[in-house]
Amino acid sequence: MTLLCEHGQLFSNITVNEICDKAMVHRTTFYKHFEDKFALLSSTLTYILQDYLQMNVEDRLRQPMQSIATMLSGNVLETMVQNQKKDKGFNHYFRKYIEEIFKQDFMELKNRGKQFPLPVELVAEFHSGVISLLVNWWIHHFEENITAEQMDEYYYLLVNEKILLE
């Protein structure tokens, strides 16, 4: 987290050796716990987002951008994401990570008995893709002070809200 929050330090340029030096652990210790730095990033994101991941699934899906804003606001993740917004590797991974969260949310709704007018896998893929694209766009337009509420409005303009809210 420290390396990712350092100004000018891009995820793509961070090496396992740098991570080990910062954490004061040997490379073999690192590799006992993580396959590579992406596995560490995944673990780090899951740790940072543990409160968010325990939020009500319906709330996360009804107001995805507001729920994400709650997660980011004042969190180390906000600094991390802003510092990494020019790193294509980080952004690609972060988008995929967010997509997976929302796909799992849709599958959770299906498991709870929610009926969808389309195959749930298709709905999950579509909505999670739109949400991750909006998050990425929002990160890159942070200076414009666009609110989470406005971003949720953009979301509903881009998708058929009847599928989600019925």
User: Could you tell me the pTM of the whole model?
Assistant: 0.83
Tens digit of each residue's pLDDT (9 = 90 or more) over 3-54: 999 988 999 999 999 999 999 999 999 999 999 999 999 999 999 888 888 8
Q: Residue 12 and residue 1: Cα distance in Å, rounded?
A: 14
Nearest Cα to Cα of residue 78 among 137, 128, 9, 5: 5
Q: Residue 124 and residue 130: Cα distance in Å, rounded?
A: 10
